[in-house]
């Protein structure tokens, strides 16, 4: 698996699995937690090591269970969780109890990456919460810290007003909404980009163009999207409940899109 070097020197796999409906009744985001690890078991079996969860997904414990059940060393995994950007996660005490709960649910004594899930309309307050997370980097309980859904101004504020630079910004990115401007800004500032929702909002017309491009490589529209992002150094976290889907999504390292194909895709 190709890795990306974060601005603190730590390596992250360029492809991982999303989890936001895993371990839930009816594969429903709001469904009850079942503690069924089947989706994660198959992902781990296929070689996925980057796992993206969040406090608001309520399934950190499912991730913790799957990782411990796998029998693989904890160090083999790169686990991301996210602290909500909502009231209730603002004071030092609140942040501390959230991180403690995540550690317990994930059954681990450290977390690879913690993101602020969403920004809110108060940069100073965000920087304060960030400073609490920085203390966890200092003591090694969190290896890296980053953000999610931040725009250029919000990430720029944090870069200029914090001790530790965000390693990564996790943003929505897919055909029709590639978000080139923020990607360019972050990459220029050594902040990695991770794309969420890489496959979920693609219309049939776009799928057709991507399937045409993929034909000569024997790849589908979904694989072409993931390959496109990887070739421009964007980390991807597709999610599939099907083992075949998971296999397809990780089978994107044996072909290379041409410059012209990259150009066509960039305009979709």
| Residue facing ligand NAP at closest CB distance | 18
Residue 154 sits in the site that holds ligand NAP (CB under 6 A)? no
The least CB distance from residue 246 to ligand NAP, in Å, is 7
**Catalytic choice (57, 132, 136, 228):** 57
For ligand NAP, what does the binding mask look like between residues 170 and 199, x meaning CB under 6 A? Answer: x-------------------------xxxx
The residues in 39-68 that bind ligand NAP, with binding defined as CB under 6 A, are 52
Query: Residue 249 burial by CB count (10 A; 0-12/13-18/19+): exposed, middle or buried?
Result: buried
Site membership for ligand NAP, residue 23 (CB under 6 A): no
What is the token pair recorded at 194? 């991770």
Which of 95, 157, 69, 146 has its CA nearest to residue 121? 157
Query: CB-wise, 56 or 135, nearer to ligand NAP?
Result: 56
Query: Is 18 an interacting residue with respect to ligand NAP (CB under 6 A)?
Result: yes
CB 133 within 8 A of CB 102: no
d(CA 209, CA 265): 9
Asked whether position 19 contacts ligand NAP by CB under 6 A, the answer is yes
Out of 91, 97, 161, 200, point to the residue binding ligand NAP (CB under 6 A): 200
Q: Rounded to the nearest whole angstrom, what is the least distance from the CB of residue 261 to ligand NAP in the complex? A: 19
Is-contact 236 14, C-beta < 8 A? yes
Query: Which residues is 17 bridged to in the sheet?
Result: 51
For the CB of residue 156, give the shortest distance to ligand NAP in the complex, in Å.
19
Q: Which of 37, 42, 148, 179 binds ligand NAP (CB under 6 A)?
A: 148
Nearest to 214 by CA among 256, 163, 158: 256
Q: Which residues participate in the annotated binding site?
A: 117
Nearer to ligand NAP, 118 or 165 (CB): 118
**Which of 192, 205, 193, 202 has the alpha carbon at shortest distance from 223?**
202
Give yes or no for residue 20 binding ligand NAP (CB under 6 A): yes
CB of 241 to ligand NAP, least distance (A): 4
Contacting residues for 100 by C-beta, under 8 A, at least 6 apart: none
151 scored as a contact of ligand NAP (CB under 6 A):
no
Structure tokens at 243: 């083992």
Q: What does the buried/exposed string (b/e) look like for 76-91 if buried means 16 or more CB atoms within 10 Å of the residue's CB?
A: ebbbbbbbbbeeebbe
* Contact call for residues 117 and 56 (beta carbons, < 8 A): yes
Task: Identify whether 228 is a catalytic site residue.
Answer: no
* Beta carbons within 8 Å of 143's beta carbon, 6+ residues apart: 10, 110, 111, 112, 113, 137
Contacts (CB under 6 A) with ligand NAP, residues 232-261: 237-242, 245, 248-249
Shorter beta-carbon distance to ligand NAP: residue 30 or 73: 30
For ligand NAP, the binding residues (CB under 6 A) are 18-20, 52, 148-149, 170, 196-200, 220, 222, 237-242, 245, 248-249
Q: Would you name the residues annotated as active-site residues?
A: 57
């Amino acid at each position: 698996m190709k890795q990306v070097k974060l601005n603190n020197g730590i390596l992250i796999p360029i492809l991982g699995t999303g989890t936001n409906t895993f371990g839930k009744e009816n594969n429903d985001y709001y469904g009850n937690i079942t503690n069924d690890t089947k989706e994660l078991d198959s992902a781990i079996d296929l070689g996925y090591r980057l796992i993206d969860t969040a406090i608001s997904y309520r399934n950190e414990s499912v991730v913790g269970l799957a990782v411990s059940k796998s029998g693989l060393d904890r160090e083999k995994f790169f686990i991301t969780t996210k602290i909500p950007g909502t009231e209730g996660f603002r004071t030092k005490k609140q942040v501390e109890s959230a991180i403690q709960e995540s550690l317990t649910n994930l059954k681990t004594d450290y977390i690879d990456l913690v993101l602020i899930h969403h920004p809110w309309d108060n940069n100073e307050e965000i920087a304060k919460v960030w400073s609490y997370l920085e203390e966890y980097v200092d003591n090694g309980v969190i290896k890296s810290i980053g953000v999610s859904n931040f725009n250029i101004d919000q990430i720029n504020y944090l870069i200029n007003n914090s001790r530790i630079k965000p390693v990564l910004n996790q943003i929505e990115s897919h055909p029709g909404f590639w978000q080139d401007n923020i990607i360019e800004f972050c990459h220029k500032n050594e902040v990695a980009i991770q794309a969420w929702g890489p496959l979920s909002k693609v219309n049939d017309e776009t799928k057709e163009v991507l399937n045409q491009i993929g034909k000569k490589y024997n790849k589908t529209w979904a694989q072409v999207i993931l390959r496109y992002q990887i070739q421009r150094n964007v980390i991807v976290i597709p999610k599939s409940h099907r083992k075949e889907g998971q296999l397809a999504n990780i089978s994107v390292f044996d072909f290379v899109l041409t410059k012209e194909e990259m150009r066509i895709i960039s305009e979709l």
